[in-house]
Structure 1
């Protein structure tokens, strides 16, 4: 029988000096729980270490996971491993993680629910990409290219001609070595809307909307990290389009079988059609990330968010 280390919380991530790890360590210490960072590695050593530690619960560090090119996170294998060994963990389960970590699989589910999402072509890493003129015929001249399984707009670029197309594919294959999407560029793409769901015990809380405008060509990794975007929070708005976004976010949270929280991102074109971009099952939880700011607008403190992770 596996005897649990009932006062140890293991946090999976990259390093101990991020704000999420520091904040949750201080908070859990107040209620008598110890924390230990377990660094993810490509040699599988953290799997055996998890079994050795036998923690009370495992927490994921969202800001680290979105950047890790690691097959275990991309396909829900870590979550599946924890389930097999009856180790509790925060966030959504293995099946939800498989769906949510793949932009392409997410789009398949969006469409099955009758939701609009930008048209795309899915290209596997070992597949020969389609000819540029074929892509233009299907998606239009202005195209977005993005890795299938990375967050934070990492590796995302705009393609405007054949030279861009060939260059971006070459860079993507060399730098990220994974599947990728070619996606139509929706007009009015400089404004993005975000809302989310937060679960507190048996309560499901619908969060307000954040409208983000970028001052660059599109929402790149750089624009998000160096503050080239303007945020505006919309609380309890009566406008139908905002209510519809919240309805969709709640629907997707349920259909993906999310746990703890989820964040959904949208675009709205000039005809006011709503397009679902993606659902994020591990939204950033640094204090300055959008999700904690959305919670703050609903009077949910940062400490409450962190406590909710260990309540499972």
Structure 2
């Protein structure tokens, strides 16, 4: 029988380019779980178990205008996940809540370590996490499951091939990054190689994807239930970039989205289909473009989406009557069902 009140370790921080975002998510999750009466400790996977003073200092930090400097992250990587996560340290916890984003916290590496240590954790397992982080593999599985996704190529590729196969503009992005880190919208052939070189700073594989003009929609999935459809009203760039995502007034987010019932239901159906195609567990968030012809195109699925009260997944849940504290509780309970 699952206890009403749990001992939960919230894992956050880490050494990915999304460290700041993870800390912001973790701060909100810690507060929500404590309001629910759970006994909560905080673990920065780059620093270890935090005492009260260290927790307060870390959780009061704000998301910067840009991702953290890579040099600082590289210095921390010798201390990452495996050095601080052990059964001896966390074995008395009922559950680990993963408030991590990107890097080893989201790509299946940490999930593998936790499986080996027989520690329960929230969200998807090692296979689903690894598959969803790989944008090339994800899109192949979307296609196989009948989920529409824009055409793409993988670097190295020359501008002439891109122009012939995809046409400009295109989106150039690291194959295994989140929060649009290293992403560029390229409208001219001469700008393609610099964009590829930028993306290579963050990953060894780079995707070039046909740009789909239109509206950006997002749908959360909780358990086996698609949540409300939301819309991100984009700025002039037409790209929901790092600044737009994490700075005040960076973008306008509308929940529920002002779309027809037919489009909303199709977006929800496709979000659940994509979740299942990638063999995900617990919860996820799927992002789409809606083109001028009314066609939905799946951009990606996030296995550990942002978890501040104003992040997209919590807004998707709130539009269905599930407040933030209840969302965090349900995520925990789903993890303990298996």
Instruction: Spell out, residue by residue over 1:270-292, the C-alpha distance to the aligned partner (whole angstroms, 9 max, x if none).
Output: 22221111111111111111111
Whole-Å separation in 1 of the counterparts to 2:300 and 2:197? 25
Residue 323 (structure 2) aligned to one of 283, 301, 305? 301
Q: Secondary structure at the match of 1:288?
A: coil
Whole-Å separation in 1 of the counterparts to 2:8 and 2:266? 42
Considering fraction of residues, name the structure with more strand.
1
Cα distance, 1:253 vs structure 2? 2.2
Q: Which residue of 2 aligns with 1:285?
A: 307
Q: Which residue of 2 aligns with 1:151?
A: 178
Q: Which residue of 1 aligns with 2:222?
A: 198
2:228 maps to 1:208: yes
CA RMSD of aligned residues (A): 2.4
Instruction: Spell out, residue by residue over 1:117-139, the C-alpha distance to the aligned partner (whole angstroms, 9 max, x if none).
Output: 1111123xxxxx22211111111
Residue 210 (structure 2) aligned to one of 174, 179, 184? 184
Structure 2 unaligned spans of 5+:
1-5, 47-75
Deviates more, 1:15-24 or 1:176-185: 15-24
Deviates more, 1:141-150 or 1:18-27: 18-27
Q: Secondary structure at the match of 1:264?
A: strand
Whole-Å separation in 2 of the counterparts to 1:18 and 1:10? 10
Q: Secondary structure at the match of 1:241?
A: helix
1:124-163, aligned counterparts within 5 Å? 129-163=156-190
Deviates more, 1:53-62 or 1:143-152: 53-62
Q: Secondary structure at the match of 2:78?
A: coil
Instruction: Spell out, residue by residue over 1:73-129, the C-alpha distance to the aligned partner (whole angstroms, 9 max, x if none).
Output: 454121111112211011001110011111111100000012221111123xxxxx2
TM-score by length of 1: 0.84
2:53 maps to 1:47: no
Whole-Å separation in 2 of the counterparts to 1:155 and 1:310? 32
Deviates more, 1:289-298 or 1:231-240: 231-240
Cα distance, 1:298 vs structure 2? 1.1
Residue 94 (structure 2) aligned to one of 32, 49, 56? 56
Whole-Å separation in 2 of the counterparts to 1:207 and 1:35? 29
Residue 38 (structure 1) aligned to one of 37, 44, 47? 44
Residue 27 (structure 2) aligned to one of 15, 22, 27? 22
Instruction: Spell out, residue by residue over 1:48-87, the C-alpha distance to the aligned partner (whole angstroms, 9 max, x if none).
Output: 432131233222224xx13xxx3x3454121111112211
Whole-Å separation in 2 of the counterparts to 1:222 and 1:169? 20
Structure 1 unaligned spans of 5+:
1-5, 124-128
Would the alpha carbon gap of residues 267 and 57 (structure 1) be closer, same or farther in structure 2, given more than 3 Å must change?
same
Q: Which residue of 2 aligns with 1:221?
A: 242
TM-score by length of 2: 0.78
Aligned residues: 289
Whole-Å separation in 1 of the counterparts to 2:229 and 2:180? 20
Q: Is the 8 A contact 1:12 1:37 kept in 2?
A: yes
